[in-house]
Amino acid sequence: MTKLKLPEPQPFKLIVFPLPAQIGKVRHVAGKYLDQPNQEAQARYWRVIVDNIRKMLTKHGCTDAEISRHVLAFREAVQKEINRRAKKRRPVENPSDPKGAA
């Protein structure tokens, strides 16, 4: 029986789906962050989220620099969602209302 000579498997690079593009996760984290009772609880919650992201990306072979970029991009996406929600809650001022105009 003849043994086939197969090429050696090539190393591969896992491409992580960009965290900011995971809209459901961004919205979920932003909502839970805002639901925390105070800033200390928010900071604790955020540390847990970042820790989980770091563990997941490390497991998939990302370097520290790549992990930092992913965390920063995710943080920016969550902050945009928080800002979007805050803007939605804020009452829209009527530009035709002359409040205090003489």
pLDDT class for 5, splitting at 50, 70, 90? confident
pLDDT, mean of residues 27-45 = 98
In this prediction, residue 99 carries a pLDDT of: 62
Task: Please enumerate in sequence order all residues whose Cβ is within 8 A of that of 88, keeping only pairs 6 or more positions apart, or say none.
Answer: none
Domain ranges of the chain: 42-89
pLDDT, mean of residues 17-37 = 95
Instruction: Pick the closest to residue 32 from 49, 20, 18, 19 (CA basis).
Output: 49
In this prediction, residue 91 carries a pLDDT of: 67
Structure tokens at 82: 């928080």
- Identify the residue with better confidence: 42 or 100: 42
